[in-house]
Amino acid sequence: MPRLPKPPRRSGRVRKERPSFRARRSARVRDLLGPDAVGIRQSLVALGFSSLTAVVAGGFLAAMTGTLERNPGLLVLVPAAIGMRGNIFGALGSRLATSIHAGTFRMSRRADALVTQNVLASGVLSLVTAVMLAVITKILSPIFGLDSVIGVADLVVLSAVGALLSFVVLIVVTLGLAARSAQRGWDLDDVNAPLVSAVGDVVTLPALFVASFLLEIDALTTSLASLLVLLSLLSLWWSRRSLLTTMRQVLAESLPILLATGILLVIAGVVIEHELATFAANRAVLVLVPACLAAAGAIGGILSGRLSSKFHLGVIEPTAVPGRPARRDLMAGLAFALPVLIFNGLLAHVASVLFSFESPGLASLLWISVIGGSIATLLAGAIGYYGTALAVRAGADPDTYGMPLVTSSVDLGGAAALVLTIGWLGLS
């Protein structure tokens, strides 16, 4: 009988196959980024869409330079109106995301339902903050050297009508995203801020442009402004007497922070208004303004939303030095920034070629986008963490406070960074 071959001898130690260099590198990248591959993909797609729509909004803004010059102060309202829409509906999406994570999210038409109360609160906030922004613009503009701003009634009509038109679209988008996220298992924190920012950019500017036609009717402007102010006061009075506790809580927590951030947003608009002559001579640069601010704000919004959910669920603690899970989210946000900002610069150049906008050239557009946007993104990361952590330590809802702090601070810091970069390149 032939002898069978002996099996190979095994040593006592079991040798493990080492993973390949590529696998190890991929593992390190995944560990660095923090969110899983699905979350990363969702965020990048949302940020890419946000960039496209922001450039469209910037192109619309560049095309309406004549309207901006005829109505001094309108450009001041642009970042303020866009930023306030992001603050209100970004915070709404963040609260809904937290309720999805906690398993309490339900679509319902009942007046006392969580979703309904949040919708009512967002409507009241949209109207009240719009009137507030108009008054702040009229007060602060002369202080910062803008003496030829249009009247307060004109500003109220522009701001409030634009806000109400934007509200109709944004509330549908935000609720649709929340419902879809709950059905499909998406993380609303990864997609809400970029998509709401994108829709807000596209909707707010045309809404302001449509509202500007009402200023041509002198007899209508004062009456309409008075009516809008009265409606805002009545809505505040009704909400304070309402039995809807969640709505009252959202309003009580939101109004002070929105007032503070409204001041920052108006100052950002004043900074940009001072460079209107530069933008009119280089309209391709004006295309970059919504794009850079939207990118940094969206990245900061993603960070704020993710951190807020993790604070609520007890995954991370509000420490002075961010822990490992928080650092991973912060690094993810910074990793998203560079390709998105380069993409914005390229899109602005394409828009300038397609629509014959005056342009300083592709290289200058890339420098403006990358330098100004990077500064704004770093600011967004710092404020996204510490603003959310301070809200938790103070016993406040980080969903309500985190998003407005991030977006308004980024708008102010980003506007200043863009203006400084423009000056550094010798365009102003």
The average confidence (pLDDT) of the chain is 78
- Higher per-residue confidence, 34 vs 228: 228
- Residue 382: partners with Cβ closer than 8 Å, 6 or more residues away: none
Domain chopping of the chain, boundaries:
36-424
The percent of residues above 90 in pLDDT, for the chain, comes to: 11
Q: What is the DSSP letter of 215?
A: T
Please state, in angstroms and rounded to a whole number, the distance separating the CA atoms of residues 88 and 321. 29
CB 296 within 8 A of CB 408: no
User: Helical H runs in 103-151?
Assistant: 114-143
Mean pLDDT of 242-257: 85
Each residue's pLDDT tens digit, 129-177? 999 999 999 999 888 888 778 889 999 999 999 999 999 988 988 888 8
pTM of the model: 0.72
Question: Looking at the predicted structure, is the pLDDT value of residue 271 above 80?
Answer: yes
**For residue 417, what pLDDT is reported?**
82
The least confident of 61-65, 144-148, 314-318 is: 314-318
- Residue 386: partners with Cβ closer than 8 Å, 6 or more residues away: none
Each residue's pLDDT tens digit, 211-224? 888 888 877 888 99
**For residue 224, what pLDDT is reported?**
92
- Higher per-residue confidence, 385 vs 402: 385
Phi-psi domain of 112 (left: phi exceeds 0; alpha: psi -120 through 50; beta: other): alpha
The two three-digit tokens of residue 61, written as one number = 């803004």
